[in-house]
Structure 1
Amino acid sequence: MRDLLLGDVSPLTCRSYGHDLLRWFRLLWAVDVGWEQATEAETATLVGWLRSAPNPQRRRRPMDALAAGTVSPKTGKPTLRSGYAPRTIAHNLSVVHGFYAFHLHFGRGPVVNPVPDSRSRRRASAHVSPIEPARPHRRARLRACIRCPMLSINPRLLLRLDELEADLLARRQRAIDEGWRGEVDGLDLTLSFPRSKRAQAQRAAATGKADLGMPTLPRHHPGNGA
Structure 2
Amino acid sequence: MLETDDSARALADFVLPDAGALIETTDPLRPCVLLDAEGDIAAPVEAFFAELQANSRSVTTIRSYGMDLLRWWRFLSGWGVTWDEVTRRDARDFARWMQIVPKASRVHWRHRASSEGTSEPVTRAAAGVPNSVTGRAAPGPLYSASTRAHCESVLRSFYAFHLEEGTGPIINPFPPARERRRLPAAAGRTARQSTGGRYRPSIPHRLPRRLPDDCFNELFAALRHNRDRALLAFWVSNGARASELLTSRQRDPQPGEQLLGVIRKGTKAYQQLPSSPDAFVWLRLYQEEAWRAGAPRGPQEALWSTLRRPFRPLAYHAARAMLNRANALLGANWTLHDLRHTAAYRMARDPGLALTDVQWVLGHAHLSTTQIYLPAGRDEIIEAVRAHHQRQTRLAQVPAVPAPGYRAESLHDLFGGAR
Q: Which amino acid aligns with 1:145?
A: S
2: distance between equivalents of 1:105 and 1:140? 18
2:198 counterpart (116, 132, 141): 141
**Number of the residue aligned with 1:111:** 170
Instruction: Considering fraction of residues, name the structure with more strand.
Output: 2
Aligned residues: CA RMSD: 3.5
Instruction: Quote the offset at 1:91 in angstroms.
Output: 0.8
Q: Which amino acid aligns with 1:19?
A: M
2:70 counterpart (11, 22, 31): 22
Query: Does structure 1 retain, via aligned residues, the 8 Å contact 2:177–2:193?
Result: no
1:31 counterpart (79, 92, 117): 79
Structure 1 residues 52 and 119: alpha-carbon distance in aligned structure 2, compared to 1, 3 A threshold: closer
2: distance between equivalents of 1:43 and 1:22? 15
2: distance between equivalents of 1:115 and 1:78? 31
Matches within 5 A, 1:117-156: 117-120=176-179, 140-149=197-206
| 1:115 alignment partner, SS class | coil
Query: Does structure 2 retain, via aligned residues, the 8 Å contact 1:101–1:113?
Result: yes
Query: Does structure 1 retain, via aligned residues, the 8 Å contact 2:85–2:169?
Result: yes
Q: For residues 114-144 of structure 1, give each alpha carbon's deviation from its aligned partner in whole angstroms, at most 9, with x where no partner exists.
A: 00212548xxxxxxxxxxxxx9969643221
Structure 1 residues 90 and 15: alpha-carbon distance in aligned structure 2, compared to 1, 3 A threshold: same
**Number of the residue aligned with 1:179:** none
Structure 1 residues 56 and 204: alpha-carbon distance in aligned structure 2, compared to 1, 3 A threshold: farther
Matches within 5 A, 1:3-82: 3-56=51-104, 64-82=123-141
Structure 1 residues 28 and 103: alpha-carbon distance in aligned structure 2, compared to 1, 3 A threshold: same
Give the structure, 1 or 2, with the largest relative contact order (CA under 8 Å, sep 6 or more). Answer: 1
| 1:23 alignment partner, SS class | helix
Structure 1 residues 63 and 200: alpha-carbon distance in aligned structure 2, compared to 1, 3 A threshold: farther
2: distance between equivalents of 1:54 and 1:199? 35
2: distance between equivalents of 1:136 and 1:58? 40
**Number of the residue aligned with 2:395:** none
Query: Does structure 2 retain, via aligned residues, the 8 Å contact 1:73–1:199?
Result: no
Instruction: Quote the offset at 1:96 in angstroms.
Output: 0.8
Q: For residues 123-171 of structure 1, give each alpha carbon's deviation from its aligned partner in whole angstroms, at most 9, with x where no partner exists.
A: xxxxxxxxxxxx996964322121112689xxxxxxxxxxxxxxxxxxx
Structure 1 residues 114 and 10: alpha-carbon distance in aligned structure 2, compared to 1, 3 A threshold: same
**Number of the residue aligned with 2:143:** 84
Instruction: Quote the offset at 1:80 in angstroms.
Output: 1.9
2: distance between equivalents of 1:58 and 1:90? 22
| 1:201 alignment partner, SS class | helix
- TM-score, scaled relative to structure 1: 0.56
Structure 1 residues 33 and 9: alpha-carbon distance in aligned structure 2, compared to 1, 3 A threshold: same
Q: For residues 92-113 of structure 1, give each alpha carbon's deviation from its aligned partner in whole angstroms, at most 9, with x where no partner exists.
A: 1111111111111111211110
Bigger CA radius of gyration? 2
Instruction: Quote the offset at 1:69 in angstroms.
Output: 1.2
Gaps of 5+ in 2: 1-48, 112-120, 181-191, 210-377, 388-419
Structure 1 residues 22 and 136: alpha-carbon distance in aligned structure 2, compared to 1, 3 A threshold: closer
Matches within 5 A, 1:197-216: 201=382
Q: For residues 176-216 of structure 1, give each alpha carbon's deviation from its aligned partner in whole angstroms, at most 9, with x where no partner exists.
A: xxxxxxxxxxxxxxxxxxxxx5897259959xxxxxxxxxx
Count of residues in correspondence between the two structures: 150
Query: Does structure 1 retain, via aligned residues, the 8 Å contact 2:152–2:197?
Result: no
| 1:33 alignment partner, SS class | coil
Moved more, 74-83 or 142-151: 142-151
1: distance between equivalents of 2:126 and 2:179? 38
Instruction: Quote the offset at 1:83 in angstroms.
Output: 1.5
1: distance between equivalents of 2:384 and 2:193? 34
Instruction: Quote the offset at 1:89 in angstroms.
Output: 0.6
2: distance between equivalents of 1:12 and 1:112? 29
Gaps of 5+ in 1: 122-134, 153-196, 207-226
2: distance between equivalents of 1:63 and 1:203? 38
**Number of the residue aligned with 1:99:** 158
- TM-score, scaled relative to structure 2: 0.32
